Amino acid sequence: MQRAFRRAHRSLWLVLAFLIPIVLGLALMMRPTGTHEQPPVPLDDAAKSALEANQ
Amino acid sequence: MSVKYVPVIWNRTKLAYDAVVLATVGAYLGIYLYVAPQFQTVTMPIDWDIYKAQAFGTCVFFLLTFILCIGPMARLDKRFLPLLYNRRHLGVITCVLAYFHVDNILGWYNAFSPINRYVSVFIVNTSFDRFLGFPFEILGVLALLILTILAVTSHDFWLHFLKPTLWKFLHMGIYLAYALIVAHVALGALQSAAGPFMTTAVGASVALVAALHLLVARKEHLFDTQESPMDDSGTWMDAGDPTEVPDKRARIISITDDERVAIFRNGKKLSAISNVCAHQNGPLGEGKIVYGCVTCPWHGYQYRVEDGRSPPPFTEKISTYRLKLEDGRLWLNIEALPPGTYVEPVVAPILAEGS
Amino acid sequence: MAKKKPDPFFIGWAKKPPKVLQGFLFLISAVLVGAAVGVALGIGASVPDPGDARFEWGAGYQTFTGYVDAKPYPLLRLPAGEDGRDQPHAMLISGIGKRGMQQLAGPLDGQAVDAGGILLKRGDLDMLQVGGDVSLRAAENPIPNFTPAPAEHLGKWRLSGEICDGKCYTGAMRPGVGLAHKACANLCIIGGIPPVFVTTTPLMGSQFFLLADENGEPLSSEVQDWVALLISLEGEVERRDDLMIFKVNLDSAKQL
């Protein structure tokens, strides 16, 4: 039983020691940052003329 | 130890331990709540309830990180063993702090609404199919549930009621709780509410916990796969040179079948017992003979080295093993004797007392 | 004979740890408390700025007279001068807590009203938390010669930003944005608080858009799945006074 426990403990950590950093890393990488930013895009003529009128 | 249950037996060591823990938690919360705001560069301060929730939440995370480091640190360097002894106090404090975190969140983010605040945790965000935007609160709830179960069953009463093996398996739940909490933090606070310092600190903590556990797993694996030669009958295993066993200490032998055996030396006498403490499966072979008894390094449970029994009034007993000395080499019979069986110690005249 | 080396062994129930270990344990304790101080200071001092958003408790209870639009979400239309601004102003309104003003505003749609409450402000944005004696009622003394201007249509756009609830963002909570705040934002939106779109880049000087569906009606509950994420949305933009309204099709939402 003792060794079964140690084995379970070790296998669990072999999984967690990789899984936990991966989840953390993914979540951090997917964080919205400046690189995701997009300027407004006019999608029709009314939008374009409104933009011109505003400038 | 096992004679009678009292809530907690206090002594100076425990009091000092708890004093250090409370000082650490007090310093963390005090500095976070009352000193750090003076160094912030914010237009308007963060809402007090949210700020308190951050203080308690981060404190829980770092306490848990520390708790998870104690085990592997103690296996890598024995000087950390004293931190292990009252580790469950740390766990209970962590659980209590987690409830403060939750109370602050529910009293602010989930309040002021016609929907009941406890119900709202489970129904207002149902984006279970997303990674970002996943209802990370649920991960926190699951972790809190585990922390609560572990805190409630932390007393030795539960250890004896559930038996050590089941209890240890149950308390491995702390690793699951840690994984849940890292995900909870990564998908919640780290997405918007945390500054760069916190992100770095969380990353470093996770790296430390993972690295320490991998290091110890490697060390243990190397030990388990060591094979000592057997004699022709297949029942006696070469246990090496008796002079290499330090006085009052043990050598641990990994036997093929199921477990490890600790060969203790007490002066000129050598005895072999199971390496597994009856209390929490602690590694007896890393213990020491104190007042004539083998003493477990984890919680100080004691056994007479000749028969594996705890001295009266205690009733714990562990398996013993037979030893023999041939041509200056020690041989171990790998068949365990029933727990508590008396075995006459092997006397090795070449061992001088106290060397 | 080898010299006897110290062999310290800690026993938890012993009165004191062995002497050789005491120094080490003292050091560990000092390191722990020191780390707690350092980390707490580091994290607490580097929290992101939640912005200049607040309840204007200092200004006290305020009363405004104008018109109310019930759709997509209740708005006050104020003539120039009423709010200390030199242009007509469209102001979002909410009830107390996470409750919208739909029940009171609905029957008064398009009519002259008095509205009383506490202002929330974030820079140039504001919202009135309606309550107290005046609450929202048909105007006792309507402002003469004032009818709100019709909406100005600014075409179809794709905008990028985050859906927030209009109340927390304008000052009810700090921080009132981001995924950590998502549950709260959803509770607000469920309660009738207007969802708003805060864009990463301004469009014609504005980064703050009241959301509506394509027909100018309140958004369906599907919006809750998109709250607090960085997304792009497509739809018609219109302007009522100084307030931009973004009439979106939620099917166009894309996570960035």
Is A55 a member of any domain? Answer: no
pLDDT score for C2 = 43
Using a CB–CB cutoff of 8 Å, tell me whether A44 touches chain C.
Answer: yes
Q: Which residues of chain B are under the pLDDT cut of 50?
A: 1-7, 354-355
Using a CB–CB cutoff of 8 Å, tell me whether A31 touches chain C.
Answer: no
Q: Would you tell me which residues 210-269 of chain B have a C-beta closer than 8 angstroms to some C-beta of chain C?
A: 246, 248-249
pLDDT score for C252 = 95
Is B151 a member of any domain? Answer: yes
- For residue B168, give the chain A residue with the closest CA: A5
Among B10-14, C129-133, C212-216, C230-234, the least confident range: B10-14
How far apart, in whole angstroms, are the C-alpha atoms of residue B338 and residue C135?
Answer: 83
Sign of CA dihedral A39, A44, A47, A50: positive
How far apart, in whole angstroms, are the C-alpha atoms of residue B331 and residue B37?
Answer: 66
Q: Are residues B163 and B37 in the same domain?
A: yes
Is B102 a member of any domain? Answer: yes
Q: Are residues B219 and B250 in the same domain?
A: no
Q: Are residues B65 and B208 in the same domain?
A: yes
Q: Count other C-beta atoms under 10 Å from residue B263's C-beta.
A: 25
Is A4 a member of any domain? Answer: yes
Is B45 a member of any domain? Answer: yes
pLDDT score for A38 = 81
Tell me: pLDDT of C219 over 70. Answer: yes
Nearest to A17 among B168, B214, B258 (CB): B214
pLDDT score for B5 = 45
Give the domain range for residue A24: 1-33
Which residues make Cβ contacts (< 8 Å) with residue C25, sequence separation at least 6?
Answer: B82, C17
Q: Which DSSP helix (H) or strand (E) runs through B181?
A: helix B173-187
Which residues make Cβ contacts (< 8 Å) with residue B15, sequence separation at least 6?
Answer: none
Is A41 a member of any domain? Answer: no
3-class secondary structure, B141: helix
Number of inter-chain CB pairs under 8 A, A vs B: 81
For helices B12-30 and B87-106, give the axis angle rounded to 10 degrees: 30
Which residues make Cβ contacts (< 8 Å) with residue B339, sequence separation at least 6?
Answer: B274, B278, B308, B317, B318, B319, B320
How far apart, in whole angstroms, are the C-alpha atoms of residue B124 and residue B50?
Answer: 19
List the CATH code of the domain at C53-138: 2.40.50
The answer to whether B210 and A48 have CB atoms below 8 angstroms apart is no
Residues of chain A found within 8 Å of residue C230, distances taken between Cβ atoms: 32, 36
pLDDT score for B4 = 44
With cut-offs at 50, 70 and 90, classify the pLDDT of residue C9.
Answer: confident
Using a CB–CB cutoff of 8 Å, tell me whether A8 touches chain B.
Answer: yes
Structure tokens given for C46: 């580097």
Alpha carbon of A36: minimum distance to chain C alpha carbons (Å): 6
Closest CA to C155 of A38, A42, A55: A42
Q: How far is CA B273 from the centre of its chain?
A: 23
The residue out of B223, B248, B265 marking a domain boundary is: B223
- Which residues on adjacent β-strands are paired with residue B333? B236
The answer to whether C38 and C28 have CB atoms below 8 angstroms apart is no
Number of inter-chain CB pairs under 8 A, A vs C: 59
pLDDT tens for B164-180 read: 888 888 999 999 999 99
Alpha carbon of C106: minimum distance to chain B alpha carbons (Å): 20
Alpha carbon of C78: minimum distance to chain B alpha carbons (Å): 28
CB contact under 8 Å between C25 and B82, yes or no, is yes
CB contact under 8 Å between A23 and B258, yes or no, is no
Q: Are residues B20 and B164 in the same domain?
A: yes
Structure tokens given for B321: 């093993």
Of B281 and A46, the one with more pLDDT: A46
Q: Count other C-beta atoms under 10 Å from residue B106's C-beta.
A: 18
The answer to whether C162 and C245 have CB atoms below 8 angstroms apart is no
How far apart, in whole angstroms, are the C-alpha atoms of residue C248 and residue C231?
Answer: 12
Question: Residue B238 phi/psi, 5° resolution?
Answer: -65, 120
Using a CB–CB cutoff of 8 Å, tell me whether A40 touches chain C.
Answer: yes
The answer to whether B172 and B213 have CB atoms below 8 angstroms apart is no
The answer to whether C131 and C117 have CB atoms below 8 angstroms apart is yes
The CATH number covering residue B296 comes to 2.102.10.10
Sheet holding B236-238, edge to edge: B236-238, B329-333, B323-326
Share of chain B above pLDDT 70, in %: 95
Q: Count other C-beta atoms under 10 Å from residue B203's C-beta.
A: 16
Q: Count other C-beta atoms under 10 Å from residue B340's C-beta.
A: 17
* Best residue of A10, A12, A24 to probe chain B, by most B CBs closer than 10 Å: A24
Is B7 a member of any domain? Answer: no
Structure tokens given for C25: 């344990």
pLDDT tens for C53-110 read: 999 999 999 999 999 999 999 999 999 988 888 899 999 999 999 999 999 999 999 9
Q: Which DSSP helix (H) or strand (E) runs through B227?
A: none
- Which residues on adjacent β-strands are paired with residue C153? C238
CB contact under 8 Å between A23 and B183, yes or no, is yes
Residues of chain C found within 8 Å of residue A43, distances taken between Cβ atoms: 155-158, 234
Half-sphere exposure of B297 (CA within 13 A, CB side): 23
pLDDT score for A37 = 66
Closest CA to C176 of C47, C48, C53: C53
Kindly give the pairing relationship between strand C152-165 and strand C195-203. Answer: antiparallel
Is A20 a member of any domain? Answer: yes
CB contact under 8 Å between A28 and B217, yes or no, is no
What pTM, to 2 d.p., does this model score? 0.90
Closest CA to B263 of B216, B309, B332, B335: B332
Task: Give the architecture-level CATH label for domain C152-255.
Answer: Beta Barrel (2.40)
Is A28 a member of any domain? Answer: yes
pLDDT score for C4 = 52
Q: Are residues B80 and B199 in the same domain?
A: yes
Is A3 a member of any domain? Answer: yes
How far apart, in whole angstroms, are the C-alpha atoms of residue B96 and residue B84?
Answer: 20
The answer to whether B206 and B182 have CB atoms below 8 angstroms apart is yes
Nearest to B197 among C46, C182, C228 (CB): C46
Is A39 a member of any domain? Answer: no
Region A21-25: what's the mean pLDDT?
95
End-to-end CA, chain B: 32
Nearest to C39 among B33, B62, B132 (CB): B62
Q: Are residues B78 and B129 in the same domain?
A: yes
The answer to whether B177 and B64 have CB atoms below 8 angstroms apart is yes
Using a CB–CB cutoff of 8 Å, tell me whether A22 touches chain B.
Answer: no
pLDDT score for B184 = 97
The residue out of B223, B248, B277 marking a domain boundary is: B223
Chains in contact with chain A (at least 3 beta-carbon pairs closer than 8 A): B, C
The residue out of B223, B254, B277 marking a domain boundary is: B223
How far apart, in whole angstroms, are the C-alpha atoms of residue C77 and residue C90?
Answer: 5
Tell me: pLDDT of A2 over 90. Answer: no
3-class secondary structure, C107: helix
Using a CB–CB cutoff of 8 Å, tell me whether B287 touches chain C.
Answer: yes
Residues of chain C found within 8 Å of residue B51, distances taken between Cβ atoms: 47
Number of domains in chain A: 1
Residues of chain A found within 8 Å of residue B178, distances taken between Cβ atoms: 16, 20
CB contact under 8 Å between B31 and C44, yes or no, is yes
How far apart, in whole angstroms, are the C-alpha atoms of residue B215 and residue B222?
Answer: 11
Q: Are residues B125 and B261 in the same domain?
A: no
- For residue A32, give the chain C residue with the closest CA: C230
How far apart, in whole angstroms, are the C-alpha atoms of residue C218 and residue C192?
Answer: 9
Residues of chain A found within 8 Å of residue C226, distances taken between Cβ atoms: none
Alpha carbon of C253: minimum distance to chain A alpha carbons (Å): 14
Tell the burial category of A12 from Cβ atoms under 10 Å away from its Cβ (0-12, 13-18, 19+): middle
Q: Are the folds of C53-138 and C152-255 the same?
A: yes
Number of inter-chain CB pairs under 8 A, B vs C: 225
Of B317 and C156, the one with more pLDDT: C156
Is A45 a member of any domain? Answer: no
Q: What Cα–Cα distance (Å) separates residue B328 from each residue in B241, B244, C156?
A: 7, 12, 93
Sheet holding B302-304, edge to edge: B288-290, B293-295, B302-304
Give the domain range for residue B160: 12-223
3-class secondary structure, B263: strand
Number of domains in chain B: 2
Tell the burial category of B2 from Cβ atoms under 10 Å away from its Cβ (0-12, 13-18, 19+): middle
Residue boundaries of the structural domains of chain C:
53-138, 152-255
Complex ipTM value: 0.93
Tell the burial category of B225 from Cβ atoms under 10 Å away from its Cβ (0-12, 13-18, 19+): exposed
How far apart, in whole angstroms, are the C-alpha atoms of residue B194 and residue B198?
Answer: 6
Q: Are residues B337 and B243 in the same domain?
A: yes
